[in-house]
Structure formats: structure tokens, C-alpha cells
Amino acid sequence: MSIQPYPLHFKPEFKERVWGGRALEQFGFDVPKGAIGEGWMIADHQNGVSHVTNGALAGKGLDEIRELYGDVWFGSKGSDSSNGRFPLLIKLLDCNDDLSIQVHPNDDYEGLPKGEIGKTEMWYVLSAKPDAKIIYGLKPGVDRASMAQAIEEGRIMDSLQEVSVKAGDTFYIPAGTVHALCAGVVVAEIQQNSDTTYRLYDYNRPGLDGSPRELHIEDSLNVTSYGDSGAARMDTDGAKPGEWLTLASSAYFTTDKGVVNGQWSLSTSSDSFVILIVCEGSGSIGWSNGLVDAKAGDCFLLPANLGQYTLDGSMTVLRSLVP
């Protein structure tokens, strides 16, 4: 069937995590019971697929839409994925407790699980409690041997850098960067469509089933970037209304921050879909055939062939596409 392109809004796939909480309820989602750490907002993965809530495709999964319209709706670059799926995975994370100390592999790592790819990602901090922090990279001079020794001696934290965070901070995390979100932050995450995480340390705590969660020491040591991993931090307070401020640029995604204050006329291109994440405020997205309301926490997939569209209202948004 032929359907005119329109902004797709999805029902999140929620994931219970030992470090999760209830903060995602603030966005008006029907959050299931339990310690919910992740909302997979736009997902086409074997471990979770999000489904459309609006328009003619309501009820269809992103995997179905990929099969039906991928080449045209996702764009010449956006439909070219190494694992045959949608190239990005968009999440909101509620870090009610510290996440494990972890690292992600790149696409070339021989130990990747079947069907998986590497994981380069970025975080945009939506909210942060006073004194909130994250683990972000290794201290200068740490190499494989010294980190392996620190792990063996139970003092891995001595090798890691702690960074204070506040709302609006952005962190680019290439594959190979040792990192961990810590308690008291809610973040938007844009990443390669991968669910592969190698844990170095998990505070000796039990998982949801009461047993310690698996660690992946050898894989972690293998994939860690010792020295400069390419990680970069940005304070985004300088974003101006009606202008895009580039936060992260990689081979997998480019993400910009925009401040909407009134009407802002924009356009998609045939190269790539556009993902819009509403970080705060509210407004609408208008296009030739309609209008959809947008509020904080909403994530939309704008097809590459949508063409002209307008953002209106008072809101802060992130725009991601495949470069």
C-alpha cells in the first residue's frame, strides 16, 4: 500500500534494570512496574522493537516499516546498515543508581555476538541531581597492563576519571571508551543499533535475579582504547533559537541541538531520515499533510522523503541523522 510520509511516533519498549527507577513517568509514559532503567524509544533490534502510535501505520513495528518503506523513507544513507536493520537505537535512561563500569566494542571486534555490531554512542543530560557525576574515560597513563592489575586487585576505580554533570551537558562516547552513568541523571542516548556491553565492574551487587551480573574482563581489556579514545564533552548552553548547534559527529550519526522559539521552517533530504527528541518544552511538528503535538520525552522519526516541515512552540530538541 502507498502511504504518504509523516512523522512517526512510537510506543517505547521499556527495560527493567537493577539501576533503574521511576523517573521516566515524568514524560507521561505508561511505565510498567519495577525498576525501569531504559525506554527504547525508536528501536529495531532483536532484543526490542518499538511500534508506531500515530497515523496510518499505527501498530506496526519499526522492523515492518523498514521492510515496507526502508529505502525511500530512511534515505540513501539511512537505509544502508551493516546488520540489515535500522542503523540507530534511541533511548531514554533513568539512572536511579550507578550503572556498571563498561565499554563497548567497535564493528571490527572478532568477539561480537552473532548479528551484533559495534556501539558508538552519545549522551545528552536531560536532568541531573546536585553533585551528579559520571565515569568518563581512563586517567592519563593507564594502559592495558595497569588496568588489568587494578581489576585483579579490586581497585579499578583508581584508573577511571569522574566528571561532574548538569542538565544540557553532552558526552560523545566512541567505541572503546570506558564509561558509566551514575546515580541521579536522566539522559537521552543516541547510539549505533547494538545491545553489546562488556562489564568491567558492577560494585559486587546482585542483579534482578539475585545473582551477580556477568563480567566480561577479557573482552573489555581487548576493546578498550588506551590513550585518546576520541571522547568529547560539550556544554550546550550556547545553543541559539533557530540555529543548529552540532553536539556529536561520527561515521554513524550526527546530532545537533536546536532551540525552538516560534516557527522554524526546515526540510529533510533524500540522504537520511531525521530523528527528533524533545528534551524540554512543548510545541508541534507540521508538514504538508498535517500537524502532530510534541512534548518533552517524545521522539519522532521523520522520513527522508517528508520534505518541508515546521517546528513550532517553545521547546529544545535534538536532531539526529546518518551523515
- Kindly state the cell numbers that stand for 47: 532484543
Burial 201-210 (b: 16+ CB within 10 A, else e): bbeeeeeeee
The phi and psi torsions of 65 (rounded to 5 degrees) equal: -65, -40
Q: Is 121 assigned a ligand-binding role in the annotation?
A: yes
Q: Which residues contact 270 (CB under 8 A, 6 or more apart)?
A: 75, 76, 304, 305
One-letter amino acid at 296 equals A
d(CA 36, CA 106): 27
- Is residue 135 within 8 Å of residue 203, measured between CB atoms? no
Closest CA to 224 of 124, 135, 109: 109
Specify the residue for cell string 558508538. Answer: 120
Closest CA to 137 of 118, 160, 121: 160
Classified as helix, coil or strand, 282 is strand
> 307: part of which helix (H) or strand (E)?
none
Alpha-carbon torsion angle 64, 67, 68, 69, nearest 10: 110
- Kindly state the cell numbers that stand for 66: 523498514
199 is catalytic: yes
- Is residue 38 within 8 Å of residue 17, measured between CB atoms? yes
One-letter amino acid at 230 equals G
d(CA 261, CA 177): 36
Cα of 17 vs its chain's centroid, Å: 16
The DSSP code for 167 is T
- Kindly state the cell numbers that stand for 220: 573489555
- Kindly state the cell numbers that stand for 177: 571508551
Q: Which of 17, 66, 85, 199 is catalytic?
A: 199
Positions annotated as catalytic residues are 199
- Binding site for Zn(2+): residue ranges? 104, 121, 179
- Binding site: residue ranges? 104, 121, 179
